[in-house]
Structure 1
Amino acid sequence: MPRTALFVIDIQNELAGHPQTEVPGAARIRSAGSQILRISRALADAAAATPPEEQQNPALTVFVQHEESPESGGTLVRGAEPWKLVFPPREDAVDEILIAKTTQNTFESNPDLADRLQNAGVDHIIAFGLQSECCVAETCKGALAAGFRLTLLQGAHSTYDDKQKTAADIERQIEEMLVSRGAEVVPWDSAVSRWETAGVVC
């Protein structure tokens, strides 16, 4: 049975957990992420308690964590407070994995990741997180290039304002770009409602 992977991209303290450095929409991202993970985990737990012959294939949740070298001058150094995840994986959850990366594209940083996902039955990736035009966009493009169906959760990704555009403008631009490449963009709350109806992240 086809399986979905839910990518939680770079929701780290630097970007969404420290008022001095977080993106303007951090509170929205934390709220959306909390509700998305609450439902996806509830569905995974329900699947685990279901007899194998009745189970739907539960989603694999992939927590992506960016890291920088101390020499780079960046703040996302392994072990540092800004590097830590706002939503860490559950230690006892077999369907939650942590993936480190050093480039914007998670698949580029992890050349075996596409094969690992496909071997686990994954054909569809649902993504949300930070930052829209950087690691979210590049990881989504990497997923499409690897042959996965891709859904981006609208309202659950964001970034910083820049000199020319607001974060909301950048979010819309990235959504339009990904749709032009074959992705689906769905409001995160609509997606969660669909999962609850289906009984599985899909």
Structure 2
Amino acid sequence: MTTALLVLDAQRTVLEGAGAVPAATTVRAALADLLARARAAGSPVIHVQNDGRPGYPDEPGTAGWGLVFDTRPGELTLRKTASDTFAANDDLADTLRGRGVDHLVIAGMQSDYCVRATSRSALQAGFRVTIPSGAHATYDDEAPATELARAVEEELAAEGVAIVPVEEVRF
């Protein structure tokens, strides 16, 4: 079967400028590496773009809404208005299965929202899921961003998600 890369919300508002997540530089490099390796392997790549509400930094059509990485022909771009990519795109699981995908590498923004919710839905839909450490991030909140990201990894690992260093991801 096939491994696909699902890049969540790699948008300008979270990866560039004053409003970026604290780990933006590191995460952006990790995402670029994953994209390059997935493309070189001919693996499916799915970009997910969050549509923020009016006035939000990721409101459609604003500079912050734009994707950081260019998409290529054959790569899917999905939009969503909720944390869970599967809930926002009812046919996603069938689309992936139709391409022979049984394993998802999920990376991007934000660890404690979209990465967590989408990973759980992927598991429930029967996909194997891998999250590369260092290829997802969030903002400081009740704890520092790095602690929140690590807690999400521990939580999802207990639910069956493989957590591996970026360099160990295979496509």
Q: What TM-score, normalized to structure 2?
A: 0.95
The one-letter amino acid of 2:70's match is P
How far apart, CA to CA, are the structure 1 residues paired with 2:35 and 2:98?
24
The one-letter amino acid of 1:65's match is Q
Query: 1:121 Cα shift?
Result: 1.0
Indicate yes or no: 2:142 matched with 1:143.
no
Question: Which residue matches 1:176?
Answer: 154
Give every structure 1 segment of 4 or more consecutive aligned residues whose post-TM-superposition deviation is greater than 6 Å: none
Secondary structure in 2 matching 1:143: helix
Which of 62, 66, 86 lines up with 2:50 in the alignment? 66
Secondary structure in 1 matching 2:19: coil
Indicate yes or no: 2:171 matched with 1:189.
no
Which digits, 9 at most, give the CA deviation of each residue in 1:142-195, with x for residues without a partner?
111111110001111111111x3111111111001111111100110122xxx3
CA contact (8 A) 1:33 1:156 kept: yes
Which digits, 9 at most, give the CA deviation of each residue in 1:27-70, with x for residues without a partner?
001111111112222222xxxxxxxxxxxxxx210001000232
Secondary structure in 1 matching 2:106: strand
Question: Which residue matches 2:8?
Answer: 9
How far apart, CA to CA, are the structure 2 residues paired with 1:40 and 1:147?
21
Question: Which residue matches 1:165?
Answer: 143
CA contact (8 A) 1:9 1:65 kept: yes
Which of 20, 23, 27 lines up with 1:22 in the alignment? 20
CA contact (8 A) 1:104 1:135 kept: yes
Which digits, 9 at most, give the CA deviation of each residue in 1:77-110, with x for residues without a partner?
21110000111311xx32x110111100000001
Larger radius of gyration: 1
CA contact (8 A) 1:63 1:88 kept: no
How far apart, CA to CA, are the structure 1 residues paired with 2:59 and 2:143?
29
The one-letter amino acid of 2:48's match is V
The one-letter amino acid of 1:112's match is D
Secondary structure in 2 matching 1:14: helix
Percent identical across equivalent pairs? 39
Indicate yes or no: 2:58 matched with 1:76.
yes
Question: Which residue matches 2:36?
Answer: 38
1:81-120 correspondence to structure 2 within 5 Å: 81-90=63-72, 93-94=73-74, 96-120=75-99
How far apart, CA to CA, are the structure 2 residues paired with 1:5 and 1:11?
16
CA RMSD of aligned residues (A): 1.1
How far apart, CA to CA, are the structure 1 residues paired with 2:52 and 2:38?
29
